[in-house]
Amino acid sequence: MTEIRLETQALSRRFGALVAVQNIDFKLAAGARHALIGPNGAGKTTFVNLLTGVLPPTRGRVLLAGRDITAMAQAERVKLGIARTFQINRLFRGLSVLENVCIAVAERVGAARSMFYPAGKRTDVIDEAMALLQTLKLAEAARHRVSELPYGRQRLVELAITIALSPKVLLLDEPAAGVPSAESHIILDAIERLPEDIAVLIIEHDMDVVFRFARRVTVMVGGALFAEGTPREIESNPQVRDVYLGQAPYRAAHA
Amino acid sequence: MSVAASAAGGAAAAARIGNSAARALMRRHRLRWWEALPWLAGIAFYFAFPDYLSFGCDLVVTILFALSLDLALGYAGIITLGHAAFFGTGAYTVGMLASYNVWTEPITALLLAALAAALIGFLSGLVLLRTAGLTLLMLTLCTMALLEQAANMGHAYTGGFDGLPSLPIAAVFGVFEFNPLYADTQYLFALGVLFVCFVFVRTLVYSAFGQSLTGIRENILRMHAIGSPVRWRVLVCYTISAALAGIAGGLWAQTNAYVNLSALGLDRAATVLIVLILGGYGRLYGAFVGAVIYLALEHFLAQIYPTAWQLGLGLLLVLIALFARGGILGLGEVLWRRYGGKLSQRWRGGHTAP
């Protein structure tokens, strides 16, 4: 039995009368490659926000490696190893690619607390950031401002920042969203090369991405878990086809 | 990512040395030759314009005040319209201690001013830094207004509207007396204080802490998401900024030998904001450029057109807002990027040609 990294118990979140997330029991094991799919408004992003501590749940618990982290703030959870990317890039747009990653590394190793030691002398931080950029094939772009990069590359920087945090659990919220299909392979390649041990949960609309990447798939509908299984099982599940996969026009619009 | 780091440790060091971005990052905190210029100019001013040394004091105080604001506004992105609250706190700390002959030694008095301003900054920051945008702007304004009214109403201690005149200030190091008629000691003292404060700010800005402040300015949500204690960082920055503003205020009181309500008003808070925007915020030297240009304009425009000199300043601000969002330094950077390379090439070419 593999180690369970992240677990939720009866996790729920209401916004007034709207139940965005309802009673979710979910487990993510070490090394998992798990996809979370579901139609728009199914509560996927709210679920991720509950996991990362951006939102407090109305009910239920979140456990990280067996430890109750429900009451913890976002920053504390990051220190314990939960990192995420956002549906829309959240980057330091005016800074260089290298500096974007350096800020994340400095935060993780605790360098960011030091007020009187030049950041430029922390070559350990810079080396680590450079090494990461190399594995993501971003080293050439290191000196560019993030705002000058094409969108696909920016998504890659977003990924680099989260990997720089050495996560145990990585939550990817539509990592390829908005990236032209000609560029999306660079994101997918990078995701496939993630260290094996990280537990990865990916929210994705693009079924090609899901079936290429995921070993397990969970379907969410109306805030609740709807089905879970291998990609093949999910694909052949007639009910899932009904609520989600069958929405051909939807997929076409997002292709 | 430790996996990648250990796998490519040696290669990474090579990559760092071979990569221009990494080199730029490693060099950024180093001193550049032109960084001596403001200080040389400051000393030259002392010898060249002995009749303008009280103007020089004003200039130095304004630079220091703008520098303190730059730390909060330019680096951490804290939008404030009440920074004079800390300037005033510093000024009144020095003023009241001197006026009642409690403490007149100038250097320690400035430290006390810094401490008092830092305390106000920390306490008000605890509350108001939970907000952002317009709310934050209004709350900083309110904090300042409250202090201003307190200073006005406590006239038994603060002198109220009239302020506290003829402050006795002890000699610097017990040797150099402040001469009320000729501001030479005051000027050099102020320049020295500015230098110490500037070295402090410069060190802070180029540290990893300073880098994280830039991160907060650029994208606060991302900073939360990488596990940064954003609230705490911003509060620390605000407190330091307040302390520096307090020193500026204290210095103002010392060099003028008086303190009055103008130390605390919206007028002063708005002026320092204009100075910083004029020079370019988030740039360290924006405070210097902005203060020099603002005070020079004030001086000369007021001579030409005493009743409406602010009209010229207003026009300049409109131009800056429209065409140079990074202030005068920002404009300089843009021009240098566009034409500087070519110029220096031509210049070098001319010299190396046989």
What are the structural domain ranges in chain A?
4-90+166-254
Region A172-194: mean pLDDT is: 86
Chain segment B195-218, per-residue pLDDT in tens: 999 999 999 999 999 999 999 999
| Bigger pLDDT: B312 vs B129 | B129
Region B161-171: mean pLDDT is: 87
Tell the CATH topology of B32-287: ABC transporter involved in vitamin B12 uptake, BtuC (1.10.3470)
The pLDDT-based confidence of B1 (bands split at 50, 70, 90) is very low
For residue B2, the model assigns a pLDDT of: 45
CB-based contact B208 A164, cutoff 8 Å? no
| Bigger pLDDT: B7 vs B299 | B299
Distances (CA, A) of B118 to B87, B113, B146, B236, B265: 11, 8, 17, 10, 18
Q: Is the dihedral of CA A133, A134, A138, A142 positive or negative?
A: positive
For residue A160, the model assigns a pLDDT of: 93
Chain segment A119-128, per-residue pLDDT in tens: 988 999 999 9
The pLDDT-based confidence of B309 (bands split at 50, 70, 90) is confident
Residues 161-220 of B with CB under 8 A from A: 203-204, 206-212, 214-215, 218-219
pTM: 0.89
Residues 48-107 of A with CB under 8 A from B: 52, 74-79, 83-84, 86, 90-99, 102-104, 106-107
Res. B170: pLDDT tops 50? yes
Task: List the single residue in B with minimal CA-CA distance to A160.
Answer: B1
Region A170-195: mean pLDDT is: 86
Q: Which pair of tokens denotes residue B188?
A: 């050099």
Angle B86-B74-B330 from CA coordinates, rounded to 5°:
135
CB-based contact B211 A112, cutoff 8 Å? yes
Res. B242: pLDDT tops 50? yes
For residue A199, the model assigns a pLDDT of: 93
Region B333-353: mean pLDDT is: 66
Residues 222-251 of A with CB under 8 A from B: none
For residue A250, the model assigns a pLDDT of: 43
Region B124-138: mean pLDDT is: 93
Res. A35: pLDDT tops 80? yes
Residues on chain B touching A107 (C-beta within 8 angstroms): 212, 223, 226-228
Region B143-163: mean pLDDT is: 91
| Bigger pLDDT: A40 vs A118 | A118
Q: Which pair of tokens denotes residue B233?
A: 């960082």
For residue B255, the model assigns a pLDDT of: 94
Residues on chain A touching B215 (C-beta within 8 angstroms): 92, 95, 103
Task: List the single residue in A with minimal CA-CA distance to B205.
Answer: A115
CA distance A254 to chain B (A): 26
Which residue reads 């537990």 in tokens? A199
Is residue B122 within 8 angstroms of chain A, CB to CB?
no
Res. B302: pLDDT tops 80? yes
Chain segment B35-55, per-residue pLDDT in tens: 999 999 999 999 999 999 999
When the pLDDT of each residue in chain B is averaged and rounded to a whole number, the result is 88
Question: Residue A3's closest CA among A76, A61, A81?
Answer: A81
CA distance A103 to A112: 8
CATH 3.40.50.11440 fits A4-90+166-254, yes or no: no
Res. B331: pLDDT tops 50? yes
Chain A interface test: which of B226, B234, B237, B244 (most A C-beta within 10 Å): B226
CA distance B11 to B184: 57
